[in-house]
Amino acid sequence: MAKCSGCGKTLGFFESKKMFSDGSWICAPCFKKLKAKEMEKELEKRGREILKGRAGYWGGNLLHPPNSLGDAGNFTLTEKQFIFEKIGRDSWKLEIPISKIILKKISYATQEDLAYKQRTTALAYFAGYGPITSYSRKFTCIVIPYKDERGVEQAPAFSFTDQKTLEAVGKFFYEVMATKIKK
């Protein structure tokens, strides 16, 4: 008879239970408790969620060369982490612990909207105006320098869907910085 590895109870044939990859069993109530504990641990690691939404990645991390039109993804800002998850075929994830961010080096950077330029240039071309390169539009990114898990300094740049989100992210880092200053 299988025994629950959590509470030691003998598990009946028809009883709801789960088997782990090592062949041990756990009863449903113990499994529930275990999941709750795992979630708690994860929550503790991540901290309270502050902001989430769509974001663009514009390079700055050596392991993730940027796409010239930016990489689209989702971001989550919590009390303890800034997380970016690239969506699409070759997806990847960047987890930046707030404690590893070099706060005084955080800055805004201007980026040219190449997708807009390509689109408008093509439109102008088809409209018979020829390729005009002056059609440009700029937007602002936030650059977040940090030391990665191997101690290498990285400085990824991110853009957000609107100015309000960019401001909120900037304000968050400002608050973190302000609370660290000893008066």
Site residues for Zn ion per CB under 5 A: 4, 6-7, 27, 30
Q: Rounded to an integer, what distance in angstroms lies between the CA atom of residue 56 and that of residue 58?
A: 7
71, two tokens: 């990489």
**Contact criterion met (CB below 8 Å) for 166 and 144:** no
From the CB of 30, what's the least distance to Zn ion, in Å? 3
From the CB of 37, what's the least distance to Zn ion, in Å? 13
Strands 49-57 and 146-147: unpaired
Q: Rounded to an integer, what distance in angstroms lies between the CA atom of residue 25 and that of residue 10?
A: 10
Q: Is the dihedral angle over the CA atoms 146, 151, 154, 160 positive or is it negative?
A: negative
From the CB of 40, what's the least distance to Zn ion, in Å? 18
The torsion angle over the Cα atoms of residues 20, 26, 32 and 35, rounded to 10 degrees, is -30
Q: Toward Zn ion, which CB reaches closer, 30 or 169?
A: 30
From the CB of 25, what's the least distance to Zn ion, in Å? 9
From the CB of 21, what's the least distance to Zn ion, in Å? 18
